[in-house]
């Protein structure tokens, strides 16, 4: 079946540090890949996505590249801010029997200190 594996958190960084959150996946075919962000007390928000190999998704300074050869979609940001503190979820969505059922990773908590 499909699965998404994320690095365990929490990830604790100082402001302006470089961020990487690893995500690898297992899927048949060519899924779309997503990163979501969840701020405390809120629902998930789509952060960025990529729909085919070598695509780079980007938003709000975050980037992730769809690497089919390594089945990875690592999230990066060059300089994190305190306001980036949140939980980040990696996800994939294949076409399955006509229904698009996404599979989520377990989430990685990011804590950024001033």
The residues binding another protein (CB under 8 A) are 32, 34, 42-46, 49, 89, 93, 98-102, 104-107
Neighbouring C-beta atoms of residue 100, cutoff 10 Å: 11
**CA separation, residue 55 to residues 83, 95, 113 (Å):** 27, 19, 31
Q: 17 or 102, CB closer to another protein?
A: 102
Q: Are 89 and 21 in contact (CB under 8 A)?
A: no
Q: How far is the CB of 75 from another protein (least distance, A)?
A: 16
Q: 73 or 105, CB closer to another protein?
A: 105
Q: Pick from 28, 3, 1: which is nearest to 91 by CA? A: 3
Q: How far is the CB of 69 from another protein (least distance, A)?
A: 24
Q: 14 or 51, CB closer to another protein?
A: 51
């Amino acid at each position: 079946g499909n699965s998404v594996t994320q690095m365990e958190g929490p990830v604790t960084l100082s402001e302006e540090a470089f961020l990487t959150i690893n995500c690898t996946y297992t899927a048949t075919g060519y899924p779309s890949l997503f990163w979501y962000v969840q701020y405390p007390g809120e629902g998930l928000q789509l952060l960025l996505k990529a729909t085919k190999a070598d695509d780079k998704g980007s938003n709000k300074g975050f980037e992730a590249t769809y690497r089919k050869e390594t089945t990875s979609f690592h999230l990066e940001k060059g300089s994190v801010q305190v306001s980036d503190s949140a939980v980040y979820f990696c996800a994939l969505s294949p076409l399955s029997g006509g229904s698009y059922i996404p599979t989520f990773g377990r989430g990685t908590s990011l804590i950024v200190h001033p």
